[in-house]
Structure formats: structure tokens, C-alpha cells
Amino acid sequence: MKVNVQRIFGNWDIGYSLDKHSSSSVYIGNNEFGHPMFDTTRTEIGEALYQLKYNSDRSQISIIGQQVVDSVGNYLQSASFIIPMPASKKRAFQPVNEIAKQVAALMDIPYIENVLVKTAYTAQVKNMPSKEERINTLCSSFKVHNVLAEDSYNNVLIIDDLYDTGSSLEAATTMLRQYTKINKIFVVTITRKNV
């Protein structure tokens, strides 16, 4: 699979995104409900993620996980464990969790699901006027659980599916920085908006 890895910058120590989610999207009119429709061409990794999230094609988990390791694994060797970015919506099947488990297995490091949890589901924050306001609102929806061994000092890798403004990842990083057992924070997103 061909990807176009890009560094992403925020309050974390190192961040990467594998590729844009789509390479083009052309407005083709509105549907019968008045909602806009688009003819979208996704990147290879964007298509794999789309098939996993929206068509429940679980065969994409191993493909995406392997691509993360192949593309950026060398930069993340010092990660002590991997966590998924808490989902913004409750689903029976959480694609990001499954990708994070796969990456952890391939890198032979622990996957820990309950270090960072979402305690409340916020209204969409994209319409808030400032990034600071978005981050503060999102911080209030996260909780860090003290599940790591005593006297440990760990580097954590957060896996997320899509990088847009970075507000969610910055809020997650802000909360994790308050946990004294966390040292460095790395982030990897499978895709990114056109940033």
C-alpha cells in the first residue's frame, strides 16, 4: 500500500498521520432529503479505513495495523504501551480499538484500553469559535484511570483514525500529561483531513 506519511504537531512529543483520507471530493448535488452528496476518491489507506468503519470489513484491521508498523513503527520503538483514542460515538464495534490492538500485537507491546476513557459524550465542538475552547470542553469529557504499575514511567502511543483540527488529541494529551506515570506521548492517526 502506498501512503504519504506526514508529521502532525501538537502538545504531544511525536505525531504522524499515514495519509490523507481522500484525494478528491466533488459535489454532485443534493439527495432527496436535501443533504449534499459527493463523489469521493479515497486514498488506499482511506479506503481501507472506510471499509472497516462503515462496511464492518474486519479484514482491514490487519492491513491497517501492518501499515502503521511499516510506515512509522521505527519512530515509536520506545512506546511502553498503546491505547486507542476514546471513541466519539458508542458503537458495538470500535474500529480504532481493534487497530490499536493489532498494532500492539505487531510491535509486541501491551495494549491497555482503559487508561484514558470518555466519561461524557460532548456535543460537536467543531463550531466552537476557538481551539482552546474546544480542547477545554473535550478535556472535561476524559478521565485518566490509574491502572499502571506503581513506580512506572511510561511512553504511551495513542492510535486514532482521523486527524482534523487536532483538538481531541490535544485534549487527550493534556489529560495524560497529568498522570505522573506517563513520560512521552506519541500519536498516530490512520488518515487526516486535507491539512
56, part of any domain: yes
CA-CA distance, 25 to 67, in Å (whole number)? 24
The distance from CA 7 to its chain's CA centroid, rounded to whole angstroms, is 14
pLDDT category, 195, cuts 50, 70, 90? low
Structure confidence by residue, pLDDT tens digits, 101-128: 999 999 999 999 889 988 876 666 666 7
For 167-185, the pLDDT digits (tens) are: 999 999 999 999 989 999 9
Number of domains in the chain: 1
Answer yes or no: is 1 within a domain. no
Q: Is residue 184 part of a domain?
A: yes
Task: Using only the alpha carbons of the chain, give its radius of gyration.
Answer: 17
Taking the C-alpha atoms of residue 117 and residue 84, their distance in angstroms, rounded to an integer, is 9
- What number is the average pLDDT over the span 77-97? 89
pLDDT at residue 122, as a whole number = 65
On whether residue 131 sits in a domain, the answer given is yes
* Contact (CB, 8 A) for 177 and 139: no
Q: What is the residue-averaged pLDDT of the chain?
A: 90
Q: Does residue 93 belong to any structural domain of this protein?
A: yes
Place of cell 512506546: 79
Cα separation of 38 and 48, whole Å?
19
Distance CA 168, CA 161 (A): 12
Q: What's the CA gap between 128 and 17, in Å, rounded?
A: 24
Residues 19, 134, 97, 53, Cα dihedral to 10°: -60
Domain span at 85 = 6-192
CATH number at residue 20: 3.40.50
**Residue in the block written with cell 486507542:** 84
Whether pLDDT at 2 is above 80: yes
Question: Using 50, 70 and 90 to split pLDDT, how confident is the model at 53?
Answer: very high
Q: Is residue 126 part of a domain?
A: yes
Q: What percent of the chain has pLDDT over 70?
A: 95
